[in-house]
Chain A
Amino acid sequence: MSSSSINVPKIPSAAETKQQAAEVQSQLSNSLSTLVHNYASTTPARVKLIDSFLLFCVLSGVLQFAYRILVTSFPYYAFVGGFGSTVGQFVLLAGLRAQVAPGRDSEFKAISQERAFLDFAASSVILHLFCFNFLG
């Protein structure tokens, strides 16, 4: 909080600083809550589902990479399989999200949601087969 005033050359009084900090905080929380509220109210449920899966993929990938660095990468193919499945799933999900989210590009308008989901599911199944093969 006080760090926001360090950049200001003229040293403000304590009350002023407090007031400013409170203002900044309220603005920040305001915009955050607006963001969350807007996300919650305007985003369709299916996109929220995609986003939670994306989050899961990112966390899983980060944990695996940390394990590979800190503990072991042996056998390397198992790491490639595990890490590849999270990355690949993330990419495929991102593709699906681009096709079904409300503000999607006009080039995807011709593609129906059912078609997009079918593409996603089929490619995911192939991805998982590859990844299990890599696990050894």
Chain B
Amino acid sequence: MRLPIPTLALIASILSVVTAKSSTGDRVLVVLESGIEKGDYSKFWKSLEARGYSLTFKSPKDDTAELIKYGERKYDHLIMYAPGQKTFSPALSPQSILHAQLDGLNTLYLLSPSLSPLNRDTFREYDLEFTDSSAGNTLISPFSSLASDPSSPLIFPAHSPLLSSSPANPVLSPSTLSGGPIVFPEAISHFAGETPYGFPILGAPRGSYVGGSGGNSNSTAGEGRKGGEVVLAGKMAGVVSAFQTRDNVRIGFVGSGKALSDKVWEASVEDQEGVTHRTANAAFAQDLTSWVFQETGVLRVECATHWSKTGGEVEKAEYRKNEEVAYSVSITQYSPSSGTYIPLVTPPSDLQLEFTMLDPFVRTPLILNSTASSAQGSTTYSASFRAPDRHGVFKFVVEYWRPGYTYLRSSTTTAVVPLRHDEHKRFITGAYPFYGATVSVSVAFVLFCGMWLGMGEERGRKKAE
């Protein structure tokens, strides 16, 4: 039986979509506050279900929505769409969510300008300060927005601040980056602090601002006293941010929950200059949920070995001072399409190895070892260095911490010991003149004795004559 190639491709693509799964689990709890219609976001839910996630919907007041029961996580991921909620059930309180996050719960927060003080306080824990303006929290973009509505900014993914810090970012896929703008209707923006665990994904378009519009008053921006003060403007205003803890739990913040609604999901929109765009909201939602739900940017250290360069490739428990030590580490990347760990697609070249005893004594770049990589089904990096002239307990430490990628840590303990009493060199090169002098004096002494005695015999013979 022969199937036409397009059919095969279609089956393959469906299979790959269906088997696409998170590396940590596929149970998702969705919490929707009362004002939000589940049906308005049906395309978003369908896309998640098509990728293999099982969704459970609960309300913020639901007592049965325990995140952790009997010490076991009941859900792997949480989508929290309850920005205006003033009180939560104990199961969904900020404390219990934080507790679950420490236990590995990935969370996607969908927000709106009607942010409750409780949520505002909670998000401060992630070093995100959401705007709180008497003139309104909605992000206004007069120059880059939908034609009819300046409160629906159009943000192009190619302007993402993430790209300047790490060009090969794992969050935004290349197709999204080259695609159209993302519409954020009724977005709240935030000011991101300097925590190293957080990083921005999308910022507001240039020329946009929060506050100043004076709510319903018709005064122009920033001008009228009744309009109020501009609290955040331009690139400083973050719209989408991400946070990844030391334990690699991922948390995403989207300033506009409506950006995932069916209205703007792969829709054609017209901007203020009359240009028609196809929105990239669907692609962006896919990228962001893939990242938050541990599909992309997930790295793993497979194994780390070390050995002496002089004593064969056998892992040693301890090394001598000044010994040549070799180290290699294998790293893999989670592939959502196959559900397995594969060699790194774009191997970074900035890995470092540190050989530390409190402080790093040796810090050396790890070099990509392509021959070992292809053999093992993982990406192998290796380095070799001379052990320090200092004995003690040392650690081989590899740390790799880049925005969007798993925080890689590998630490192997070893000992550096001095030479044993029978391992010192028998002769030292620098002392050869001294050895030579002593031996030459001894040889000269023997010759001297021989010649002395020979002379004595001659004299004795002469005497006898």
Query: Residues on A close to B: CB < 8 A?
Result: 45-46, 49, 53, 56-57, 60, 63-64, 67, 71-72, 74-75, 78-79, 81-83, 85-86, 89, 113, 117, 121, 124, 128, 131-132, 135
The interface-forming segment of B43-51, B388-396, B426-434 is B426-434
Also in contact, A79 and B434, with CB within 8 A (given A53-B444, A128-B441):
yes
**Residues B452 and A82 in contact, CB atoms below 8 Å apart:** no
**A60 to B442 alpha-carbon distance, docked (Å):** 12
Minimum Cβ distance to chain A for residue B295 (Å): 61
**Residues B430 and A71 in contact, CB atoms below 8 Å apart:** yes
Minimum Cβ distance to chain B for residue A75 (Å): 6
Q: Does B445 contact A (CB under 8 A)?
A: yes
Q: Does B451 contact A (CB under 8 A)?
A: yes
**A131 to B451 alpha-carbon distance, docked (Å):** 23
Provide the main secondary structure of the chain A interface: helix
**Residues B437 and A60 in contact, CB atoms below 8 Å apart:** yes
Q: Does B455 contact A (CB under 8 A)?
A: yes
User: Of B434, B452, B455, which contacts A78 at CB under 8 A?
Assistant: B434
**Residues B435 and A74 in contact, CB atoms below 8 Å apart:** no
Q: Does B438 contact A (CB under 8 A)?
A: yes
Would you list which residues of chain B between 407 and 465 have a CB under 8 Å from chain A?
Answer: 428, 430-431, 433-438, 440-442, 444-445, 448-449, 451-452, 455-456
**Residues A78 and B451 in contact, CB atoms below 8 Å apart:** no
**A135 to B434 alpha-carbon distance, docked (Å):** 8
**Residues B430 and A85 in contact, CB atoms below 8 Å apart:** no
**Residues A81 and B438 in contact, CB atoms below 8 Å apart:** yes
Task: Kindly list the 6 A-B residue pairs having the minimum CB-CB distance in the complex, ordered from nearest.
Answer: A82-B434, A78-B431, A82-B437, A78-B434, A72-B430, A85-B441
- The residue in chain B whose Cβ has the minimal distance to the Cβ of A80 is B434
**A86 to B440 alpha-carbon distance, docked (Å):** 9
**Inter-chain contacts of A53 with B (CB < 8 A):** 444, 448
**Residues A86 and B437 in contact, CB atoms below 8 Å apart:** yes
**A117 to B434 alpha-carbon distance, docked (Å):** 27
**A71 to B444 alpha-carbon distance, docked (Å):** 25
**Residues B437 and A64 in contact, CB atoms below 8 Å apart:** yes
**Residues A64 and B449 in contact, CB atoms below 8 Å apart:** no
Minimum Cβ distance to chain A for residue B461 (Å): 14
Other than the given A60-B441, A67-B433, A135-B431, 11 more pairs (CB < 8 A) read: A45-B455, A46-B456, A49-B452, A53-B444, A60-B437, A75-B431, A82-B436, A86-B437, A128-B441, A128-B445, A135-B438
Query: Residues on B close to A: CB < 8 A?
Result: 428, 430-431, 433-438, 440-442, 444-445, 448-449, 451-452, 455-456
**Inter-chain contacts of A45 with B (CB < 8 A):** 455
**Inter-chain contacts of B438 with A (CB < 8 A):** 81-82, 85, 128, 131-132, 135
Also in contact, A46 and B455, with CB within 8 A (given A53-B448, A60-B440):
yes
For this complex, 27 residue pairs linking A to B, each with C-beta atoms less than 8 Å apart, are A46-B452, A53-B444, A53-B448, A56-B444, A64-B433, A74-B431, A75-B428, A75-B431, A78-B431, A79-B431, A81-B434, A81-B438, A82-B434, A82-B435, A82-B438, A83-B434, A83-B437, A85-B441, A86-B441, A89-B445, A113-B456, A117-B452, A128-B442, A131-B438, A132-B438, A135-B431, A135-B438
**Inter-chain contacts of B434 with A (CB < 8 A):** 64, 78-79, 81-83, 135
Minimum Cβ distance to chain B for residue A58 (Å): 12
**A64 to B58 alpha-carbon distance, docked (Å):** 91
**A40 to B435 alpha-carbon distance, docked (Å):** 34
**A19 to B244 alpha-carbon distance, docked (Å):** 103
**Inter-chain contacts of B442 with A (CB < 8 A):** 85, 128, 132
User: Of A46, A63, A85, which contacts B433 at CB under 8 A?
Assistant: A63
**A132 to B434 alpha-carbon distance, docked (Å):** 10
- The residue in chain B whose Cβ has the minimal distance to the Cβ of A45 is B455
- The residue in chain B whose Cβ has the minimal distance to the Cβ of A134 is B438
**Inter-chain contacts of A128 with B (CB < 8 A):** 438, 441-442, 445
**A85 to B456 alpha-carbon distance, docked (Å):** 26
- The residue in chain B whose Cβ has the minimal distance to the Cβ of A64 is B437
Minimum Cβ distance to chain B for residue A18 (Å): 46
Minimum Cβ distance to chain A for residue B422 (Å): 14
Minimum Cβ distance to chain B for residue A69 (Å): 12
**Inter-chain contacts of A121 with B (CB < 8 A):** 449
**A46 to B455 alpha-carbon distance, docked (Å):** 7
- The residue in chain A whose Cβ has the minimal distance to the Cβ of B435 is A135
User: Of A46, A67, A75, A89, which contacts B441 at CB under 8 A?
Assistant: A89
Also in contact, A49 and B431, with CB within 8 A (given A81-B438, A85-B441, A86-B441):
no
